[in-house]
Amino acid sequence: MSILLSRETRVLVQGITGRVGRVQTKWMLEYGTNIVAGVTPGRGGEEVEGIPVYDTVTEAVVERGAEASVFFVPPASVKAAVLDTVEAGIKLIVIVTEHVPTHDAMEIRAYAKNQEVRLLGPTSPGIITPGEAKMGIMPGNMFTAGRIGVISRSGTLAYEISADLSAAGLGESTVVGMGAGAVVFTNMPELLEVFANDPDTDLVVIVGEVGGIQEEKATQFIAYRMTKPVIAYIAGRSAPEGKRMGHAGAIIQGSMGTSQSKVTALRQVGVEVAGYPLQIVELVRRRFDSYEGGGQWH
């Protein structure tokens, strides 16, 4: 079992005929993702890697039973594409596209939440259930199946930390790239809740970074509702206040959003915070050893 995505999930690729869409479709198929259709307006009737291309999402849903969609479309087209996708009945959308206008992202988030649709992104590396399927650009060879859930605001750090866990014989149940924009469609507490309800996840790793208040929001859920241990790493400890560090969402504002404020808040609710990425392996092992020795998670 996995959260959100499995080998049975019928995936649609939007922007499949573009350069990036074609390459990523090939790699997703090679990993085992059940891609059933692609959509590029005006290119219906073509094929990419043997996958039929349609002009509209509705056609892909009706004819191929698509139920999840990954976006490789231009930033200016994302809002209209999301509206069409939601109206067609798709309930899981991964938006890899960068530079989606902030006002568009805010409208998309409000609309999708009202329609009970799960969106990841924008600027998301995607989601991967190791050994089963992936939607997005995560490199499959860095992940192995296991019982650790990973939520990451950074694509590259998600890969690095998952690779470290895999090398240590500790695999992942699902890895979710939540996106790095100033506006994210699904926040960290929402993702923690999904992992908390997953019987195949024993522990969750948060890969955070400076800027925004996602990690501070997460502490409220962890304190009162999280039933599994959480371990975290916060990137960007040397980032100066008010300085944008790579992502639109990585901006420190006053006392909120600093690495220290996040570390302090997490530790106050019992989360162990690694000082460097590889230390996560040590902290995870310690938790598992304690549990297997008859201890309690909390």
- What residues are labeled active site? 247
Preceding omega of 41 cis (within 30 degrees of 0): no
> Nearest CA to 186 among 135, 103, 112?
112
Whether residue 81 contacts residue 72, with contact meaning beta carbons closer than 8 Å, is answered with no
Q: Rounded to whole angstroms, how far apart are CA atoms 52 and 161?
A: 36
Q: Rounded to whole angstroms, how far apart are CA atoms 27 and 168?
A: 25
Radius of gyration, alpha carbons of the chain: 19
Q: Rounded to whole angstroms, how far apart are CA atoms 175 and 89?
A: 25
> Nearest CA to 208 among 228, 185, 237?
237
> Nearest CA to 40 among 30, 27, 54?
54
User: Exposure string (b/e) for 199-211, b if CB count within 10 Å is 16 or more?
Assistant: eebbbbbbbbbbb
